[in-house]
């Protein structure tokens, strides 16, 4: 059987809140955030009837409590999709949501289903990263991995060691730029149209979560210069040049290109190829480099052909390493994260991959001359995830 082309028709997310008691979603369940996204995707696309959705796949890093019990199945039921819609959950830490998307795409490509919803959700306020994990003691006792592998900030310090020419000042400059891009995108109204407002109950009563809590548009180099380096004495990684701890959900609506045509829907972009790769866990931020090389090799494309690159900003140093390895202009290659990144928006782990996909979809809409784009993330415990997309919003249809 010949594989089918898979397209993205739509994408939407909740606002990203701060994790913890002062965040939007402290008294909101993670599964309800995912349900809000699913319902909004269906509302925005009335040609897609609920009974047409055959698969619902969600990434979540901590699969317990309000993120447990197979989110893909439970959120389908809660969102009002029919019992015939199957669903499951995946965990690839920061790339959980992108893995959900590629898993759904693979099903569609092979004809296992025609239409799917896929996304990622993370409530880091309810489920702090690794809080209930029980790593096998052999990891450390047998030196299978470095102790640093279990502390993401230490892995970022290790990347600085690997690339001593990438200084703390460069990382701070990159972080400042990310905040500035995001502030400009908000002023232009670009981010607001990607967020579905959600009513949430807080200790002060009902409120509406309609914009991200993490961005700090007032950030300056002077302010970043004096921040503590918690992962190493006189280190280079700070809270200012790292992503935050956040709650949020993001999802996409995928289908075969034939089905989109049958329903009269205008697909936004086509999945060209994807790849995952492993690296030493103690330098996990290097992961997107080999995964991107791998997807380039498999598709025959190159960085020179990418009109946009959406790269998750777990740490500024990780992005600078990626840019250096692919010959991009440091610190500001206009193709990279035009609206800013996770240093500004926040990084609710599994939700970040779908957010990158959604941003790329909007770049393509504003730039019909663009043809290809890349979405990529580093992944805890030493992995990288990359996917290449082709613009279908060319204005000639």
- Residues annotated catalytic, as ranges: 94, 347, 378
Closest CA to 272 of 374, 350, 199: 374
The β-bridge partners of 206 are 201
The three-state secondary structure class of 373 is strand
Alpha-carbon span 101 to 117, nearest angstrom: 8
Alpha-carbon span 275 to 297, nearest angstrom: 10
- Check: CB of residue 291 under 8 Å from CB of residue 276: yes
Q: What is the CB neighbour count within 10 angstroms for residue 199?
A: 11
Alpha-carbon span 374 to 175, nearest angstrom: 21
6 φ/ψ angles, rounded to the nearest 5 degrees = -115, 135
* Tokens matching residue 137: 């003691």
CB contact set of 284 (below 8 Å; sequence gap of 6+)? 149, 152, 155, 378, 379, 380, 381, 382, 383
């Amino acid at each position: 059987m010949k594989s089918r082309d898979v397209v993205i028709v739509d994408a939407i997310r909740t606002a990203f809140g701060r994790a913890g008691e002062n965040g939007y979603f402290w008294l909101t369940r993670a599964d309800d955030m995912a349900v809000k996204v699913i319902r909004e995707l269906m509302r925005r696309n009335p040609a897609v009837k609920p009974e047409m959705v055959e698969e619902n796949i969600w990434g979540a890093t901590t699969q317990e409590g309000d993120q447990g019990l197979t989110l893909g199945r439970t959120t389908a039921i809660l969102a009002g999709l029919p019992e015939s819609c199957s669903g499951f959950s995946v965990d690839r830490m920061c790339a959980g949501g992108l893995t959900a998307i590629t898993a759904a795409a693979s099903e569609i490509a092979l004809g296992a289903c025609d239409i799917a919803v896929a996304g990622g959700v993370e409530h880091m306020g309810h489920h702090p990263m690794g809080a209930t994990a029980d790593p096998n003691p052999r990891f450390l006792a047998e030196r299978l991995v470095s102790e640093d592998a279990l502390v993401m900030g230490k892995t970022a310090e290790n990347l600085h060691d690997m690339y001593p020419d990438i200084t703390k000042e460069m990382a701070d400059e990159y972080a400042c730029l990310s905040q500035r891009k995001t502030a400009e995108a908000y002023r232009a109204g670009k981010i607001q149209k990607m967020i579905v407002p959600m009513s949430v109950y807080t200790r002060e009563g009902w409120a509406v979560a309609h914009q991200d809590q993490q961005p700090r548009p007032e950030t300056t180099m002077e302010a970043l210069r004096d921040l503590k380096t918690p992962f190493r004495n006189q280190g280079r990684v700070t809270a200012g040049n790292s992503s935050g701890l956040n709650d949020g959900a993001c999802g996409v609506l995928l289908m075969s290109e034939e089905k989109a045509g049958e329903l009269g829907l205008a697909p936004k972009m086509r999945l060209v190829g994807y790849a995952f790769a492993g690296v030493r866990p103690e330098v996990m931020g290097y992961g997107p480099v080999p995964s991107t090389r791998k997807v380039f090799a498999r598709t025959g494309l190159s960085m020179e052909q990418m009109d946009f690159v959406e790269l998750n900003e777990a740490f500024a140093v990780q992005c600078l390493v990626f840019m250096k390895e692919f010959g991009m202009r440091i610190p500001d290659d206009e193709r990279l994260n035009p609206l800013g990144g996770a240093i500004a928006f926040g990084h609710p782990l599994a939700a970040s991959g779908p957010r990158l996909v959604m941003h790329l979809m909007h770049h393509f809409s504003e730039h019909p001359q663009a043809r290809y784009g890349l979405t990529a993330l580093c992944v805890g415990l030493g992995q990288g995830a990359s996917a290449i997309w082709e613009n279908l919003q060319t204005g000639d249809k």
